[in-house]
Amino acid sequence: MSNATARVPVEERLFSLVLALLATENGLTKNEILSTVQGYRQRFDAGGDNANLERQFERDKDDIRDLGVPLETVDSPGDAGNNQTLRYRIPRGAYQLPSDIRFTPEEMTLLDLAARVWREGSLSGESRRALLKLRSLGVDVAEPTIGYAPRVRLRDAAFEPLDAALEKHLVVRFPYLKPGDQAAREREVIPLALVQYQGRWHLSAEEYVDGGSTAGARKMFLLRRIVGPVATGKPAPARPGDHTAEAVAGLEEVWHRGVAEVEVTCDTDAATRLTNRRDTEQLGPGAAGTERLRVHYVDMAILADELAGFGPEVLVIEPADLRAAVVERLEEAARG
């Protein structure tokens, strides 16, 4: 199957995964998911190597958990600890609206219309085929009823043209504004992969240098910093390899290398959010009424924006560059 045929939008794959896991009480094994769910089954090789697809599923699990979906794992009886027989499920009771929430008749009408759109859309056809295949495997499934619609992340404006260029193997150009620069600079790159990391879309690419004559080292571009239209150009030279996995591994390395120490006021929004942030280390009490944390980050400018948003609830200890960036944002906000 060609890459063009196999491409399924990220939101559709995640939504299909949620539907499938809601549709069965006992859960699904990884093999059942990869072979039946829209977005995976197109690339599943029944007798071959599905390592890349399994890594995609692992990232998708983290994504839907980040969306607040209660994904559970269940060991098979008598075979505890075997990842091949481990089952995944979403308990319906944990994915329904709280009992104290009520809708007016007008709101119910709008929700019903929205549900009809989903049922009549192209996704429902894929879902029905997946349900039929699951039943043929002997998996007990029911038509899923979702208590509320999943939140779908909005894509950056550059996503669609970059995704199309990747599919057609074309070089792209776009204006890119780096933090601290006063003006955007035109970049010409060979796109390799689009990856979502920590809720943000990134482009892994090789940038042309020497006036566009040769491709240089691989770089990562944050899509939110592409500030103008993406233009396609000449056919891109072949670059074999698992670029998605390489890009995620590179971002993971940057994440673990980027470390900041902060003091947060106890029992505040900042304390709750930063303490629950992935890989955060609690270092003990700070000044009176505060706690000291060690947090990780990929992009210092983005972290500075986030910390400045907490106002007086956060004090940056180190690094000095991050502290200065937060102070600069707070002073700018004060000038208003």
The CATH class given to the 258-335 domain equals alpha beta
Q: Is the pLDDT of residue 320 over 90?
A: yes
- Residue 63, classed as helix, strand or coil, is helix
Which range of 66-70, 214-218, 274-278 scores highest in mean pLDDT? It is 274-278
Flag whether pLDDT at 140 surpasses 80.
Answer: no
Specify the pLDDT at position 4: 42
Which of 192, 246, 220 has the alpha carbon at shortest distance from 52? 246
pLDDT the model gives residue 205: 95
Q: Residue 89 pairs with which residues in a beta bridge? A: 72
pLDDT (0 to 100) of residue 296:
95
Nearest to 3 by CA among 181, 208, 238, 213: 238
* 93: its two tokens: 């009771």
* Cβ proximity of 17 and 60 under 8 Å: yes
More reliable by pLDDT, 94 or 319: 319
Residue-wise pLDDT for 30-44, tens only, equals: 989 998 888 888 888
Cα distance from N-terminal residue to C-terminal residue, the chain: 55
Check: CB of residue 218 under 8 Å from CB of residue 241: no
pLDDT band at 55 (very low <50, low <70, confident <90, very high): confident
What's the rounded mean pLDDT across residues 156-176?
91
Closest to 311 (Cα-Cα) out of 324, 335, 330, 285: 330
Report the percentage of the chain scoring pLDDT > 90: 35
Q: Give 253-310 as a DSSP string.
A: HHHHH-EEEEEEETTSHHHHHHHTSTT-EEEEE-STTEEEEEEE-S-HHHHHHHHHTT
DSSP-derived 3-state class of residue 8 = coil
Pairing of strands 185-197, 200-209: antiparallel
User: Which residue ranges make up each domain of the chain?
Assistant: 3-136, 159-244, 258-335
Q: State the pLDDT at residue 293.
A: 96
Q: Is the peptide bond preceding residue 285 cis, with omega within 30 degrees of 0? A: no
Cβ contact 86:30 at 8 Å:
yes
Residue 131, both tokens: 């349900």
Q: What is the pLDDT of residues 97-119, one digit of tens each?
A: 656 666 676 666 666 555 555 44
Strand order in the sheet with 28-29: 28-29, 87-89, 72-74
Of 114 and 223, the structure prediction assigns the larger pLDDT to 223
Point out which residues pair with 205 in neighbouring strands. 191, 219
Fold of the CATH domain 159-244: SH3 type barrels. (2.30.30)
Instruction: Report pLDDT for 119.
Output: 44
- Looking at per-residue pLDDT, the higher value among 128 and 165 belongs to 165
Query: pTM here?
Result: 0.58
